[in-house]
Amino acid sequence: MTFYELYGAPPSVRASAPGRVNLIGEHTDYNGGYVLPTTIPQRTTVELLPRPGGAIRALSIDVGQPTPFDYVVGTESRRGRWTDYLQGVTWVLSKAGFAVGGADILITSTVPLGGGLSSSAALEIALLRAFREAFSLPIGDVQMARLGQQAENEFVGAPVGVMDQMACTLAGNGEALFLDTRSLEWSVVPMPASAELVVINSGVAHSHAKGDYRMRRAECEQAAGLLGVAALRDLDAGDLPRVMRLPEPLGRRARHVVTEDDRVLAAVEALRAGNVASLGGLFYASHESMRDDYEVSIPEIDLLVELARATPDVYGARLTGGGFGGSVVMLARPGRGRAAAEAIVAEFAARAGKAATVLVP
């Protein structure tokens, strides 16, 4: 269905944002730490035509919704559906003092939902870009990322960090975004020519509005409080002995964050040096830390990582994103990523009886 078929007029604005895959730096963003995400080719696209008054009509093709959802700007209310992201965006724009009027909207996306690839941030940023253009709103890119996060935190009710929105907004194709989530200082690091990015979706979906992510975040805050620091970012490897004296499981949770921050810094160095073997080793170490200390992996994801480890063309693999399902990110020998990923997915189907999907390359 086209915009014209749905609303009887063409859109005046077309905006989009990519999904992201985090290379390394997981569950560090809400601890003030470092992250290193990059974008994927899959995108969410928003077509929009402003209309008089404050009424919004919106249809998202990929959620199988039969008719447009409608509401009036200023009357947003949470319903536990995808439309919360849309309402969250108009709510946060109004709250920040930006005048948003009515609009007809059509959304299409190739970013898998619940795949750990930031379908939420892609939707938020695509919507924010469309509103920014349609209503000439003076919003800078970093501010836009923060508005997206605020919509998700305060309206949708998912206590996520700022990594995804920053990655979707700032990282270009073939670039990793090295971000300090405390200062929001960032720089772009080119992806090395000596490695090919591979992303496999396990097919097990997750939701960050649910309890597990929230509980990890609360555990980190509790650990920081007991250790007398503002955030776990303020600790380093020298603090690990006292970190491990915390009551279980807080010690292991904090150890993941402290060691993961160090791994991001090491990964940036390896990336800049084109040292893919060292980068791959950091991926495996990150995965083990997420599996054993942070406990956000699941058996299907562990199996995909183990199959990757047994594949000679793969340098490293790990769970990417919030966890409890989602996707695995890998680095492979250039030109060999697709074949390696397909072999891994075939073996996964044989062993787990489930269908995983190769998303990149």
Query: What residues make contact with ligand GLA under the rule CB under 6 A?
Result: 22, 26-27, 29-30, 160-161, 163-164, 208, 321-322
The CB-of-152 to ligand GLA minimum distance in angstroms stands at 8
The CB-of-204 to ligand GLA minimum distance in angstroms stands at 15
Looking at the Cβ atoms of 30 and 34, the one nearer to ligand GLA is 30
* Rounded CA separation 215/217 (Å): 5
- For 66, phi then psi, to 5°, come to -75, -40
Q: Supply the DSSP string of 201-262, one letter for each residue.
A: E-S----TTSHHHHHHHHHHHHHHHHHT-SSGGG--GGGHHHHTTSPTTHHHHHHHHHHHHH
Structure tokens at 277: 């073997």
Looking at the Cβ atoms of 29 and 84, the one nearer to ligand GLA is 29
Looking at the Cβ atoms of 114 and 322, the one nearer to ligand GLA is 322
Amino acid at 51: R
Contact 121, 333 (CB under 8 A): no
The secondary element (H helix, E strand) that includes residue 15 is strand 13-24
Catalytic annotation present for 262: no
The CB-of-27 to ligand GLA minimum distance in angstroms stands at 5
Looking at the Cβ atoms of 30 and 315, the one nearer to ligand GLA is 30
The CB-of-215 to ligand GLA minimum distance in angstroms stands at 13
The CB-of-244 to ligand GLA minimum distance in angstroms stands at 22
Q: Which residues contact 104 (CB under 8 A, 6 or more apart)?
A: 3, 6, 7, 9, 11, 48, 49, 51, 56, 57, 58, 68
Q: Catalytic: which of 84, 164, 261, 293?
A: 164
Structure tokens at 207: 């939701």
Looking at the Cβ atoms of 11 and 161, the one nearer to ligand GLA is 161
Catalytic positions, please? 164
